[in-house]
Amino acid sequence: MATLLELKGANPFKVRAYQNAARSLMTHDDDLELALEKGQLTKIKGVGPGIAKDIQDFFHTGEMLELKTLRESFPSTLFELLEVPGLGPKKVKKLFDELQIESLGELEYACHENRLVKLDGFGSKTQEKILKGIALLKQRRNTFLYPEAFEQAHVLLQQMSKWKEIKQIEIAGSLRRRKETIHDIDLVCSADQENAEVVMRRFVNLVSPNDVISHGTTKSSISYRGIQVDLRVVKESEYIFALHHFTGSKEHNTLLRGLAKKQGYILNEYGLFKGESLVKCQTEANIYEQLKLDYIPPELREGLSEIEMSKDHQLPNIITLEDIRGIFHVHTNYSDGKNTLEEMVRAASERGYTYIGISDHSQSAFYAHGLKEKDIDAQFIEIDRVQKQFPKIRIFKGIESDILSDGNLDYPKHVLKRFDFVIGSVHSRFKMSQEEMTKRCVRALENPFCTILGHPTGRLLLARDGFQIDVQRILDVAKKEGKIVELNANPHRLDLDWRILYTNRNDCPYISINPDAHDVEGLSHVTMGVSMARKGGLTKDHVFNTKTTKEIETYFARQRA
């Protein structure tokens, strides 16, 4: 509704009202259907009589009259135009009304025909920028996995922190919030006022003029090895406010500024002001404190329900990397891992872990040299040997067993019962219907020998969507069966998605943050997994591998009894 109304040129506050209501509904934890039946929809923040009526209509008829009318007044392909950088609703509407442009293809053609320059408010620069934007969209090169973006950001940070004009510099934006994928790198720095322009000049000179996206006196953007980097420079006294501002998210900031305003403050990237006077804040925590809020860590600043929770002192005490005591889901060269069992155990021990769960692939995973029964015998003997060598770290014997398409695990009972734990994972037949796939995984969860459900949706970030599966059902069954669900920490997977964890944080089964390491370096995936758990609002108590070795042993023993 909001997008369509915006295109229509409706009252911008009406547009925002719909956006607010949508966000509010997305994070609404209670039963919507119940609220609807009781006629209590308007009790939800942002939902008034108008939108309550919309929701009712939608629930009963599957449609909303105004939405239907609006939708019919625009071709569905029009929305892709909004993806083009520099194009917003006003310009898209103009293109549609005056040039009858309905799709990206038509827009590109019109640019080549030089037809945009004649439009009011457009010019040759706009046309050029749009063409560039379309090319970028086509390449899909504007999204990166966290580690790729992080590495680039660090290279820049190293380099720029040596510039004598810069006093402080930090990574802000989605990188600081630890989003799983990153569109651009945001850097914030402080400098003496007379040096600001020098910093900007040095920054844009890092790349060729062609790769300078914008160049101002305090804010510039460049395209650095294919990724957009924004740099903002402020005075030293403004730095903490700027860092907060550019950490975002946009949604979080919007809500926070609204709250500040209600309390008689103005909040922007330069400070927190009461009238003309600046409120002194040394840290980000001080800013929240002034607004009568508990400190909200960057990972939680997504504009979901964190501000409300913080106001009520209900923020979860989210897990930290130090809470992790051990790790499961580790591969060795018995299947498709690179390092030996001993090397993996040594590395885990050196990282201070007190237990490690080895889980190579099972026999039907021939692509990964899955273990036959005799390989299991051999590995068990070796584990016992290595265990003697490293008495301080407990080695659990496990397996990552394929969940076959009928939901069975791919060893017979007498084999499965030999393991301390079994991770059941789907590695084949991804294209089942949601119903079939859900049934398949439920069956696995109900198998008494299955301990952990591995990478529950099978997604590969930026490469492959997860398979169709009713995640809610899976979580419910896992909880009921006392099973553990994996948060696969491989940066390509990060599966389950943190948003699912966030919505289910008050009622979910144990989550195990598993590196799915295929070599020694892969053990460090845990860091990323913890970041996702933090975004999901999980506490130490939610996470299985924060337990002590003793607790783990007891848990496994009870399961196998």
Q: List contacts with DNA (CB under 7 A).
A: 11, 13-14, 16-18, 20-21, 42, 45-52, 84-92, 117, 120-127, 129, 173, 183-184, 186, 214-220, 230, 246, 248, 250, 253-254, 257-258, 261, 264, 266-270
Whose Cβ is closer to DNA: residue 261's or residue 372's?
A: 261
- Least spacing, CB of residue 368 vs DNA, in Å: 40
Q: Cβ neighbours of residue 508 under 8 Å, at least 6 residues apart? A: 475, 479, 485, 501, 542
Q: Are 77 and 102 in contact (CB under 8 A)?
A: yes
Whose Cβ is closer to DNA: residue 56's or residue 387's?
A: 56
- Least spacing, CB of residue 177 vs DNA, in Å: 11
SS3 per residue for 66-94: HHHHHHHCCCHHHHHHHHCCCCCHHHHHH
Map residue 157 onto helix, strand or coil. Answer: helix
Q: Hey, what are 197's tokens?
A: 């322009």
- Least spacing, CB of residue 246 vs DNA, in Å: 6
DSSP secondary-structure letter at 141?
Answer: T
- Least spacing, CB of residue 517 vs DNA, in Å: 34
- Least spacing, CB of residue 550 vs DNA, in Å: 47
CA distance 453 to 484: 6
- Least spacing, CB of residue 266 vs DNA, in Å: 5
Whose Cβ is closer to DNA: residue 254's or residue 364's?
A: 254
Whose Cβ is closer to DNA: residue 72's or residue 276's?
A: 276
Q: Hey, what are 354's tokens?
A: 């007190």
Query: CA angle, 182 as apex, 508 and 470 as ends, to 5°?
Result: 30
Whose Cβ is closer to DNA: residue 262's or residue 558's?
A: 262
Q: Are 91 and 123 in contact (CB under 8 A)?
A: no
Whose Cβ is closer to DNA: residue 126's or residue 364's?
A: 126
- Least spacing, CB of residue 129 vs DNA, in Å: 6
Single-letter residue type at 541 = D
Annotate 5-66 with DSSP letters as a single string: HHHHT--HHHHHHHHHHHHHHHT--S-HHHHHHTT-GGGSTT--HHHHHHHHHHHHHS--HH
Whose Cβ is closer to DNA: residue 266's or residue 432's?
A: 266
Whose Cβ is closer to DNA: residue 89's or residue 536's?
A: 89
Single-letter residue type at 178 = R
Q: Are 136 and 85 in contact (CB under 8 A)?
A: yes
CA distance 147 to 531: 12
Whose Cβ is closer to DNA: residue 55's or residue 395's?
A: 55
- Least spacing, CB of residue 560 vs DNA, in Å: 51
Largest CA distance in the chain: 79
- Least spacing, CB of residue 164 vs DNA, in Å: 21
Single-letter residue type at 273 = F
